[in-house]
């Protein structure tokens, strides 16, 4: 059997026709991928390489139709919550309520990439005083002001405190422009002092019980706002069911990650895995469909694993990837140059952990929120990366820097030192702008140097 | 023993009450603000603080979470500094009981750290006179703010944050026709006061120091009555204060929490209320926004300041000079010329 080969956008259109001739039935949001270029201006798709499976087609179509889904939901009388920064917590609460859906306006940070900056969002942010010295998430400001991407939410919620300064500053600018925000406090997670009451968080870290209680109180406050929006209180019963359903998605993702990252060859490409992981944070505005999309990817992965059908050679260098990339093409480039992703920390690892179901739901969510790798010490994050590198036999680590992101100034060096000390692996910091194309020669040589170093280590 | 703190919203009187000499880190003559030889985006101030921690192993350090760079800088510190460094979680929100409780809990936790550092936990009889001394110093400086020049107040505030004492202000300055300006932004250590000279040389007059450790840092009003006397001061919002506590820490915490006025707060409306009142009262005609490279919190405020205060704003980035850079001089001179 021929191993699956990644397809260009044009090749996908041909493949789509072929699949349809073979009887493929798609969900309502389905269709050829190239229509997103024609209808939405998602020009970047022309420069990406995609997995050839129908499961991947469904994933991409699901991702690229989110704004339409939000508008349809609003038109049907639903209420929309714009959740900012916490990456995975408040959406679980919002989806527990009837006729409420949550989405991350932060996600607009990928719009300039997808539209190859043809959207003008960065220029809009520039005019609002947020220039290129800030993280690409500044595109969110432009998206709010133009209203041409996602609908204006009925409620905006944002965590503050132990969050990135650039995001916090941009959100503050948004509020100054007249978008009211319900802020909630996320303390910097710390280790419990000696003798201090503490509890274990999803993922195994410890936190003082007092911090958990503080976050729980804040989430209860946000829950009241959400209940007010829905016209229906967010009871423990509703929230417990919301947690259970969120965990269904998280279980699927955990299984998918373990299969893909743990297999000798890559049964799915890195780009599709990045998108799949991102579904965890707010279910791409449809929780039930997210589960179906992930189940499809998992079934495809299982089939390929059984048949030893890899999209990349098993000889590819196993790379652990840290941070999401502003340009999706970066994930393709790693594979083009001989690497494969065998594990990732896209800053959302807490959204992949199961939310405890044996605790009161708000307490469980507070513990999960505190497990966020970005609210605690970078050393904790590095330790988790090291454990995952061991689990998935990583041969190198890439810390992709996000241009202008305040956390990137320090974290790369801390992670590098810890990884080198514990595992001796080569580590590369790699700044990925919204469009990598002009930097390809530099980026290519840096990546190749990393991969060659990793290959040399195999011979020792 | 010196205990340095990186934000004026950590009460120095609490450190002093444990038997240490509190030192606002921005006032330190040893603060070295060279750019870090690290990846781009590292704030020179945060890097300077970390260098100072490494250079002063015999001192204690209270870093704060109010900015990402200091928060993550704490993570980068060598294990050897672990026993002498403390990360104080300053809440970003301020309108909820949760944020207040967090601040109170952090102050108590700081107290336990200071005891581990060799200090003595203060009782009310020790805390009260120290709080009173600090309050008197701030009170004198607040009064001076209405009369002396912004430049002089910058010097007085720095001295207060270094020693806990208030030097005398000066006589009101005669009207010279210089353009009244406000300086807002990140901390301005003495090594960068050349910037103030540039402003004066260009025909400007600093009438409002809104930098991190400037006039705003004098806001807390701590009224810790002697043991046995009732605490009946209402909070700034008019709500009754919590009941008396054994050691007064709650009163101290509430005084600072209620006064906290900073750019990192969410929402940061308190900062704008504070600025608006003073800009109007002192007839400010232009604002110089001073920030370190990589400081998103201040940099993002440039346009909001323009819109909210209706004044021109000059954005000045800290560089590796002592504030006397020709580039700064040219920009400041042009700015003031436009305002004449």
Provide ipTM, 2 decimals: 0.95
Q: Answer yes or no: are the C-beta atoms of A356 and A92 closer than 8 Å.
A: no
Q: Assign B81 a pLDDT band (cuts: 50, 70, 90).
A: confident
Would you state the pLDDT for residue A459?
A: 81
Q: Tell me how long chain B is.
A: 340
> Which candidate from B87, B295, B307 shows the least CB-CB separation from A188?
B87
Would you state the pLDDT for residue B150?
A: 83
> Which candidate from B75, B296, B301 shows the least CB-CB separation from A378?
B75
Sign, CA torsion A198/A203/A204/A205: negative
Contacts of A170 in chain B (CB under 8 A): 300
Q: Which of A227-231, A265-269, A343-347, B245-249 has the lowest mean pLDDT?
A: B245-249
- Mean pLDDT for chain B overall: 89
Would you state the pLDDT for residue B243?
A: 46
C-alpha angle A40/A110/A174, rounded to 5°? 100
% pLDDT > 70, chain B: 89
Rounded CA gap, B298 and A165, in Å? 10
The answer to whether the Cβ–Cβ distance between B91 and A406 falls below 8 Å is no
User: Chain A 395-414, CB below 8 Å of chain B: which residues?
Assistant: 401, 404, 406-414
Q: Domain B2-116 carries which CATH code?
A: 3.40.50.11890
- Rounded average pLDDT over A391-412: 92
Q: Assign A4 a pLDDT band (cuts: 50, 70, 90).
A: very high
> Which candidate from B39, B267, B300 shows the least CB-CB separation from A429?
B39
> Does residue A121 fall inside a structural domain?
yes
The answer to whether the Cβ–Cβ distance between B98 and A221 falls below 8 Å is yes
The answer to whether the Cβ–Cβ distance between A187 and B91 falls below 8 Å is yes
Report cis status (omega within 30 of 0) of the bond before A455.
no
Q: Which residue has the higher pLDDT, B43 or A70?
A: A70
According to DSSP, residue A110 is labeled G
Chain A residue with minimum CA distance to B86: A190
Chain B residue with minimum CA distance to A161: B92
Q: Locate tokens 């806990």: which residue? A: B164
- Rounded average pLDDT over A269-287: 97
Here the tokens at position A244 are 């259970």
Q: Which of A2-6, A89-93, A377-381, B98-102 has the lowest mean pLDDT?
A: A2-6
Can you point out the beta strands (E) in B126-251?
179-185, 204-211
Chain B residue with minimum CA distance to A178: B304
Rounded CA gap, A51 and A57, in Å? 8
According to DSSP, residue B243 is labeled P
Q: Which residues of B142-152 are buried (b: 16+ CB within 10 A; e: fewer)?
A: eebbeebbbbb
Rounded CA gap, B47 and B51, in Å? 6
Residue A56, chain B, CB below 8 Å: the answer is: no
Contacts of A171 in chain B (CB under 8 A): 266
User: For residue range A298-328, what is the model confidence (pLDDT) as tens digits?
Assistant: 999 999 999 999 999 899 999 999 999 999 9
CB-based contacts of B109, cutoff 8 Å, min separation 6: A193
- The structural domains of chain B, with segments of one domain joined by +, span 2-116, 131-218+263-339
> Which candidate from A169, A176, A411 shows the least CB-CB separation from B296?
A169
Chain A residue with minimum CA distance to B50: A410
Q: Answer yes or no: are the C-beta atoms of A436 and A330 closer than 8 Å.
A: yes
The answer to whether the Cβ–Cβ distance between B93 and A185 falls below 8 Å is yes
Rounded CA gap, B300 and B293, in Å? 12
Chain B residue with minimum CA distance to A211: B102
C-alpha angle A259/A244/A359, rounded to 5°? 110
Sign, CA torsion A241/A243/A246/A250: negative
Would you state the pLDDT for residue A418?
A: 95
Best of A135, A176, A217, A427 to substitute, by most chain B Cβ atoms within 10 angstroms, is A176
Distance from CA of A172 to the nearest CA of B (A): 7
Q: Locate tokens 């009142």: which residue? A: B277
User: Chain A 79-108, CB below 8 Å of chain B: which residues?
Assistant: none
Distance from CA of A109 to the nearest CA of B (A): 17
Sign, CA torsion A151/A156/A162/A164: positive
Indicate if B131-218+263-339 has the same CATH topology as B2-116.
yes
> Does residue A137 fall inside a structural domain?
yes
- Rounded average pLDDT over B289-306: 94
User: For residue range B127-163, what is the model confidence (pLDDT) as tens digits?
Assistant: 999 999 999 999 999 999 878 888 889 999 999 999 9
CB-based contacts of B273, cutoff 8 Å, min separation 6: none
**Going by CATH, does the domain composed of B131-218+263-339 fall within 3.40.50.11900?**
yes
Q: Left (φ > 0), alpha (ψ -120 to 50) or beta: where does B154 sit?
A: alpha
User: For residue range B113-126, what is the model confidence (pLDDT) as tens digits?
Assistant: 999 999 999 988 89
> Does residue A146 fall inside a structural domain?
yes
Contacts of A165 in chain B (CB under 8 A): 67-69, 264, 295-297
Helices (H), chain B: 12-17, 44-55, 68-76, 97-116, 124-145, 150-163, 194-201, 249-259, 269-281, 296-299, 302-309, 326-339
CB-based contacts of A48, cutoff 8 Å, min separation 6: A8, A9, A271, A328, A329, A332
Closest CA to B182 of B225, B145, B223: B145
Closest CA to A73 of A360, A245, A285: A285
Distance from CA of B69 to the nearest CA of A (A): 7
Rounded CA gap, A165 and A169, in Å? 6
Q: Answer yes or no: are the C-beta atoms of B91 and A185 closer than 8 Å.
A: yes
The answer to whether the Cβ–Cβ distance between A168 and B69 falls below 8 Å is no
Q: Given a cut of 80, is residue A268 above it in pLDDT?
A: yes
Q: Answer yes or no: are the C-beta atoms of A437 and A359 closer than 8 Å.
A: no
Contacts of B92 in chain A (CB under 8 A): 160-161, 168, 183, 185
Q: Assign A3 a pLDDT band (cuts: 50, 70, 90).
A: confident
- Mean pLDDT for chain A overall: 96
Q: Given a cut of 80, is residue B229 above it in pLDDT?
A: no
> Which candidate from A134, A158, A413 shows the least CB-CB separation from B296?
A134
Would you state the pLDDT for residue A306?
A: 96
Rounded CA gap, A103 and A101, in Å? 7
Q: Answer yes or no: are the C-beta atoms of A250 and A353 closer than 8 Å.
A: yes
User: Chain A 210-249, CB below 8 Å of chain B: which residues?
Assistant: 210, 214, 217-218, 221
Sign, CA torsion B57/B62/B65/B70: negative
Would you state the pLDDT for residue A89?
A: 97
The answer to whether the Cβ–Cβ distance between A406 and B89 falls below 8 Å is no
Would you state the torsion angle of the CA atoms of residues A90, A284, A144, B275, taken in this order, to the nearest 10 degrees?
20
Closest CA to A182 of A146, A227, A143: A227
Rounded CA gap, B295 and B33, in Å? 14
% pLDDT > 70, chain A: 100
Domain containing A101 equals 67-233
Residue B199, judged by CB atoms within 10 A of its CB (0-12, 13-18, 19+), counts as buried
The answer to whether the Cβ–Cβ distance between A410 and B72 falls below 8 Å is yes
Q: Which residues of B14-34 are buried (b: 16+ CB within 10 A; e: fewer)?
A: bbbbbbbbbbbbbbbeebebe
> Does residue A141 fall inside a structural domain?
yes
> Does residue A357 fall inside a structural domain?
no
Rounded CA gap, A393 and A298, in Å? 21
Q: What distances in angstroms separate CA B267 from CA A170, A460, B23, B96, B235, one per listed residue?
A: 12, 56, 29, 12, 19
The answer to whether the Cβ–Cβ distance between A160 and B98 falls below 8 Å is no
> Which candidate from B67, B74, B98 shows the least CB-CB separation from A165?
B67
The answer to whether the Cβ–Cβ distance between B69 and A181 falls below 8 Å is no
Rounded CA gap, B25 and B48, in Å? 10
Chain A and chain B share a number of CB contacts under 8 A equal to: 140
> Does residue A192 fall inside a structural domain?
yes
Residue A51, chain B, CB below 8 Å: the answer is: no
The answer to whether the Cβ–Cβ distance between B296 and A166 falls below 8 Å is yes
Residue A61, chain B, CB below 8 Å: the answer is: no
Query: Coil, helix or strand for A48?
Result: coil
Rounded CA gap, A359 and A227, in Å? 21
Number of Cβ within a 10 Å radius of residue A164: 21
Q: Answer yes or no: are the C-beta atoms of B189 and B263 closer than 8 Å.
A: no
User: For residue range A147-171, what is the model confidence (pLDDT) as tens digits?
Assistant: 989 999 999 999 999 999 999 999 9
> Does residue A250 fall inside a structural domain?
no
Q: Locate tokens 């600072």: which residue? A: B256
The answer to whether the Cβ–Cβ distance between B72 and A190 falls below 8 Å is no
Contacts of B41 in chain A (CB under 8 A): 404, 406, 408-409
Closest CA to B289 of B186, B174, B163: B186
According to DSSP, residue B39 is labeled S
Rounded CA gap, B88 and B97, in Å? 18
> Does residue A136 fall inside a structural domain?
yes
Rounded CA gap, A90 and A110, in Å? 21
Rounded CA gap, B45 and A159, in Å? 26
Structurally, how many domains does chain A consist of? 1
Residue A397 belongs to what H/E stretch?
Answer: strand A396-401
Q: Given a cut of 80, is residue B323 above it in pLDDT?
A: no
Q: Assign B55 a pLDDT band (cuts: 50, 70, 90).
A: very high
Q: Given a cut of 60, is residue A331 above it in pLDDT?
A: yes
Best of B75, B88, B270 to substitute, by most chain A Cβ atoms within 10 angstroms, is B75
The answer to whether the Cβ–Cβ distance between A414 and B72 falls below 8 Å is yes
The answer to whether the Cβ–Cβ distance between B38 and A169 falls below 8 Å is no
Would you state the pLDDT for residue B211?
A: 96
The answer to whether the Cβ–Cβ distance between A128 and B75 falls below 8 Å is no
């Amino acid at each position: 059997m021929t191993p699956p080969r990644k397809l260009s956008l044009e090749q996908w259109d041909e493949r789509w026709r072929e699949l349809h001739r073979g009887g493929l039935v798609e969900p309502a949001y389905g269709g050829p991928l190239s229509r997103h270029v024609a209808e939405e201006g998602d020009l970047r798709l022309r420069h990406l390489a995609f997995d050839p499976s129908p499961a991947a087609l469904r994933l991409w179509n699901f991702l690229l139709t989110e704004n339409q889904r939000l508008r349809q939901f609003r038109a049907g009388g639903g209420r929309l919550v714009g959740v900012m920064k916490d990456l995975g917590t408040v959406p679980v609460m919002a989806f527990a309520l009837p006729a409420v859906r949550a989405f991350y306006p932060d996600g607009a940070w990928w719009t300039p990439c997808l539209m190859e900056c043809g959207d003008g969002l960065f220029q809009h942010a520039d005019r609002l005083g947020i220039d290129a010295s800030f993280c690409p998430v500044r595109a969110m400001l432009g998206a709010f002001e133009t209203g041409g991407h996602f609908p204006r939410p009925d409620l905006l919620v944002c965590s503050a405190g132990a969050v990135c300064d650039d995001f916090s500053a941009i959100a503050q600018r948004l509020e100054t422009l007249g978008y009211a925000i319900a802020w909630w406090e996320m303390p910097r997670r710390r280790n419990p002092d000696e003798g201090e009451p503490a509890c274990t968080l999803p993922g195994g870290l410890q936190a003082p019980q007092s911090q958990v209680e503080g976050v729980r109180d804040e989430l209860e406050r946000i829950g009241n706002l959400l209940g007010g929006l829905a016209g229906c209180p967010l009871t423990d019963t509703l929230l417990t069911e919301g947690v259970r359903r969120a965990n269904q998605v998280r279980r699927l993702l955990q299984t998918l990650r373990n299969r893909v990252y743990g297999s000798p060859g890559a049964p799915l490409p890195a780009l599709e895995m990045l998108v799949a992981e991102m579904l965890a944070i707010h279910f791409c505005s449809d929780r039930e469909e997210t589960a179906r999309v992930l189940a499809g990817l998992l079934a495809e992965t299982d089939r390929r694993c059984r048949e030893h059908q890899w999209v990349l050679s098993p000889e590819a260098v196993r790379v652990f990837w840290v941070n999401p990339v502003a340009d999706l093409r970066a994930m393709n480039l790693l594979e083009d140059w001989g690497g494969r992703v065998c594990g990732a920390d896209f800053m959302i690892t807490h959204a992949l952990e199961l939310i405890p179901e044996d605790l009161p739901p708000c307490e469980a969510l507070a513990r999960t929120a505190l497990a966020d790798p970005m609210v605690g010490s970078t050393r904790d994050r590095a330790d988790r990366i090291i454990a995952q590198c061991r689990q998935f036999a990583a041969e190198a680590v890439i810390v992709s820097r996000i241009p202008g992101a305040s956390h990137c100034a320090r974290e790369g060096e801390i992670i590098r030192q810890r990884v080198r000390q514990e595992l001796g692996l080569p580590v590369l910091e790699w700044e990925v702008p919204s469009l990598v194309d002009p930097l390809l020669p530099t980026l290519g040589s840096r990546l190749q140097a990393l991969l060659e170093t990793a290959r040399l280590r195999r011979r020792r | 023993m010196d205990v340095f703190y990186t934000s004026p919203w950590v009460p120095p009187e609490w450190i002093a009450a444990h038997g240490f000499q509190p030192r606002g880190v921005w006032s330190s003559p040893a603060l070295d603000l060279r750019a870090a030889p690290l990846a781009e985006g590292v704030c020179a101030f945060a890097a300077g603080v970390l260098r100072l921690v490494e250079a002063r192993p015999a001192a204690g350090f209270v870093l704060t979470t109010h900015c990402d760079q200091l928060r993550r800088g704490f993570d980068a510190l060598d294990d050897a500094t672990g026993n002498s460094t403390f990360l104080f979680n300053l809440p970003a929100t301020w309108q909820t009981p949760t944020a207040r409780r967090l601040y109170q809990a952090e102050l108590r936790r700081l107290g336990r750290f200071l005891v581990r550092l060799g200090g003595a936990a203060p009782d009310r009889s020790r805390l009260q006179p120290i709080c009173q001394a600090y309050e008197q110093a701030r009170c004198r400086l607040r009064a001076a703010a209405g009369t002396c020049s912004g430049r002089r107040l910058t010097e007085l505030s720095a001295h207060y944050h270094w020693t806990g004492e208030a030097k005398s202000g000066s006589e009101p300055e005669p009207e010279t026709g210089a353009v009244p300006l406000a300086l807002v932004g990140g901390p301005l250590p003495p090594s960068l006061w050349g910037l103030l000279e540039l402003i004066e040389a260009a025909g400007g007059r600093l009438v409002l120091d809104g930098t991190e450790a400037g006039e705003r840092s004098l806001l807390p009003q701590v009224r810790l009555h002697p043991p046995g006397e009732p605490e009946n001061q209402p909070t700034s919002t008019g709500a009754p204060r919590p009941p008396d506590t054994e050691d007064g820490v709650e009163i101290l915490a509430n005084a600072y929490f209620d006064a906290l006025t900073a750019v990192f707060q969410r929402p940061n409306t308190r900062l704008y209320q504070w600025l608006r009142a003073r800009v109007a009262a002192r007839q400010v005609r232009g604002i110089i926004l001073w920030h370190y490279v990589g400081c998103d919190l201040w940099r993002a405020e440039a346009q909001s300041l323009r819109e909210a205060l209706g004044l021109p704003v000059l954005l000045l980035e800290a560089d590796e000079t002592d504030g006397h850079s020709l580039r700064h001089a040219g920009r400041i001179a042009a700015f003031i010329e436009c305002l004449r």
